[in-house]
Structure 1
Amino acid sequence: MKLFNNTFNHLAQGLDYASTKNKVIANNIANVDTPNYKAKKVSFHSQLEQEQSKLETLRTHPKHIPFNRQSSTIKITQNQNHTYNHNGNSVDLDKEMAELSKNQLYYEALTERINGKFNSIRTVLGGGR
């Protein structure tokens, strides 16, 4: 049962990540013409660290180094290095639209997976019908 709960937790965290990323991208697109606006992005590295912190390892010797158990949050950073418009704005609309499409596919895949889990529960509770 623990594995089942972990799956739901991981899927929920993935949805949180995708939702946050969608909000950041939408905000960037909304500010495409705002002077000196610096595009923001959601850091994948933070999400990767968060998932790696959940890895359980078996230490068979006291000298084995344990995995770091610190969890991190999703981080939003600003793109300070590039300016795409004459007004100091760093939003690349084509890139943002591509990221939005990719993120939407990721979100939809996660929701399909969650629906599959709920359908499995429904099948089990219905006696296999």
Structure 2
Amino acid sequence: MNLFNGSFVTLEKGLNYSALKQKTLANNIANADTPNYKAKDVSFKEVFTDALNNAMTANRTDSRHFEFQSSDHPAIVTKQNVSYNQNGNSVDVDKEMSDLATNQIYFNALTDRMAGKFNSLTNVIKGGK
């Protein structure tokens, strides 16, 4: 019996993505003045693909069958061939701050949804009282 229908797992993966995005953006902002530092970003496509692959389970009945493997490390992509400063740095602080605010809104939406799930569960446990 699947009590939560995978929704908590999906929300957890979304929160993990948001936390990694936050760390990456904070690292970019911290290195805004570092010469030759290249800005990094978290690839949503890779995170989404990993989430889909993790949802699949496989039972190998023969050694010739393909193995299903998933990585727990989302892809952090370095932005190459971009330079905003004369010292070779590719961090655009305004864009990073904008992405930080967007990520905060995304994180808050996920935590609100998870709180709603827990409130519903509490309501069921209490018998609707």
TM norm structure 2: 0.83
Moved over 6 A (4+): none
Matches within 5 A, 1:93-104: 93-104=93-104
Contact 2:13 2:51 in 1 (8 A): no
Contact 1:21 1:42 in 2 (8 A): yes
- C-alpha distance in structure 2 between counterparts of 1:79 and 1:32, whole Å: 14
Contact 1:34 1:89 in 2 (8 A): yes
Of all paired residues, the percent bearing the same amino acid is 53
> What is residue 59 of structure 1 aligned with on the other side?
none
Residues 71-129 of structure 1, C-alpha deviations (whole Å, 9 max, x = no match): 34311111112000011100011111111111111100100011001001110111101
SS where residue 13 of structure 2 aligns?
A: helix
Mapped pair 1:21 → 2:44: no
Aligned residues: 119
- C-alpha distance in structure 2 between counterparts of 1:101 and 1:49, whole Å: 25
Shift of residue 51 of structure 1? 2.8
Amino acid at match of 2:113: R
- C-alpha distance in structure 2 between counterparts of 1:69 and 1:109, whole Å: 32
1:3–1:85 distance in 2 versus 1, CA, 3 Å: farther
Shift of residue 54 of structure 1? 4.9
Shift of residue 2 of structure 1? 1.8
Matches within 5 A, 1:1-129: 1-2=1-2, 4-54=4-54, 70-72=69-71, 73-129=73-129
Contact 2:34 2:89 in 1 (8 A): yes
SS where residue 77 of structure 2 aligns?
A: strand
SS where residue 4 of structure 2 aligns?
A: helix
Amino acid at match of 2:40: K
**Unaligned segments of structure 1, at least 5 residues:** 57-67
Amino acid at match of 2:70: S
